[in-house]
Homo-oligomer: A and B are copies of this chain.
């Protein structure tokens, strides 16, 4: 039975520190869904001898070896040839792949070089994995009870190929089919989530529960296999229900989606337009929302009123209110959000004003006030965040999005 996985990444650019190994991270995060554990990552340069050595070593200690990188058309790209040789397999031309590569170049209006055709040769007997996003197909070799999978290096090619071919392949291999679901939580820290779920986590082994935190969001993975007559999907949805009843409306999705996407969907479903008035976050909230394709459906505009005077000029904030309460205050946040509604005629607006630091002595770094206005409510809240400038800005944006979500769903604000 397949159990231990090693990810073997090939590329001098990794050893030069030009890029971080995000492919290994992506694959590692996904494999537990199909019952596999990643035991080792290795990185080696574009060097035939060292790659051969690393492959043999990986096969000696792991059941599955997934390589990333080195499938392109240049002389440096040698993963497929080296691995075929190490496994004593001939390289065979695949006419269908050759055809696809030719068509790709025709479609792009580019000239194909002989090197590009190298990408249509594959180790004898392998399964070819189409590349919908580029010219380098991947492949999958089963030999002597081991599985070797070769994936391309660029994440925009690797990720769709992994989702389309690798996950279904292992899902079929699984003796006990697995189901996973990802809940996401906003407004509660990871240690508090762990504490609240401790009895659940300790009391059972199927489903398993794993948490991880990033940028103010905690993701909870729930994975189960079939248990006698009970299907894994039922075990997972039952456990997700238990977790949701403990964590309440801090769980914003059971579909592993970004918070801005949840907010975007809520706005779109309700046919509401959205705008924001930012200060310390400097456009970060607008940037997040507009990273979603189709956001023009709901997103109208943003005013980044960074200097104090611009709050008055662009949003009509009363200068006397700023003088009286200070530029980082609930009062100014409310004036900003109301100003945005008045100026833009948007349905929903949010405002952020705060000190992201590193600051002057008289500025309480981390103090952030956020205001939200919807057709049927108006709220404002003061936060005290800790961390560096980037973290304070990120937490401000996450909490602003959460306040919009709660306002749209008529939920109470978190403590």
Interface residues of A (CB under 8 A from B): 9, 13-22, 24-30, 32, 37-45, 50, 53-54, 57, 61, 156, 210, 212, 214, 273, 278, 280-287, 289-291, 293, 295-296, 299-307, 309-310, 313-314, 343-344, 357-358, 388-390, 393
Cβ contacts A to B, 10 pairs, < 8 Å: A15-B41, A16-B32, A20-B22, A57-B57, A273-B307, A290-B304, A290-B306, A293-B389, A300-B309, A303-B303
Contact of A282 among B287, B314, B344 (CB under 8 A): B287
B307 pairs with A300, CB closer than 8 A: yes
Chain B residue numbers with a CB within 8 Å of A32 are 16
Complex CA distance for A156 and B390, rounded to whole angstroms? 11
B30 pairs with A39, CB closer than 8 A: no
B299 pairs with A290, CB closer than 8 A: no
What residue in chain B is nearest A294 (Cβ atoms)?
B358
Complex CA distance for A40 and B15, rounded to whole angstroms? 7
Contact of A301 among B27, B30, B40, B310 (CB under 8 A): B310
Contacts A21-B20, A299-B306, A344-B313; A15 near B28 (Cβ below 8 A): yes
Chain B residue numbers with a CB within 8 Å of A61 are 53
Chain B residue numbers with a CB within 8 Å of A393 are 291
Copies in the complex: 2
Complex CA distance for A307 and B275, rounded to whole angstroms? 10
Contact of A41 among B43, B50, B156 (CB under 8 A): B43
B286 pairs with A282, CB closer than 8 A: yes
Return the 3 tightest CB-CB contacts between A and B, nearest first. A282-B290, A283-B283, A17-B29
Contacts A291-B389, A343-B313, A389-B293; A43 near B24 (Cβ below 8 A): yes
Complex CA distance for A323 and B300, rounded to whole angstroms? 19
What residue in chain B is nearest A301 (Cβ atoms)?
B310
B286 pairs with A314, CB closer than 8 A: no
Additional A-B contacts beyond A300-B309, A314-B314 (10; CB < 8 A): A15-B38, A17-B30, A39-B45, A282-B287, A282-B291, A283-B283, A291-B393, A301-B307, A301-B310, A302-B304
